[in-house]
Amino acid sequence: MHLFETEEGDKWVCITCGVEQEEMITAKKWEWIFDRNDQTIRCSLCGHPDYDIDD
């Protein structure tokens, strides 16, 4: 999960949305802060974690 600083506050973005929304992220000048591997964090764009864990 990537954490970005935005004009509306910090937002977590999953790997998939990071790739799919790269143009929007660049256009809005979101600044990357750091990455974290944590399944409890949800993407602010799609609401899902980076990966689903299979039982």
Q: What is the pLDDT of residue 54?
A: 63
Beta strands in the chain (DSSP E): 2-6, 9-13, 31-35
Give the whole-angstrom CA distance, residue 40 versus residue 26: 26
pLDDT at res. 55: 55
In the chain, the amino acid numbered 30 is W
State the pLDDT at residue 51. Answer: 78
Cα separation, 9 vs 7, in Å, equals 6
Q: What pLDDT does 11 receive? A: 97
- Residue 50: the pLDDT is 86
Phi, psi of 48 (to 5 degrees): -105, 160
What pLDDT, in 10s, does the model give residues 1-55? 999 999 999 999 999 999 999 999 999 999 999 999 988 999 999 999 987 666 5
State the residue for tokens 């506050």. 9
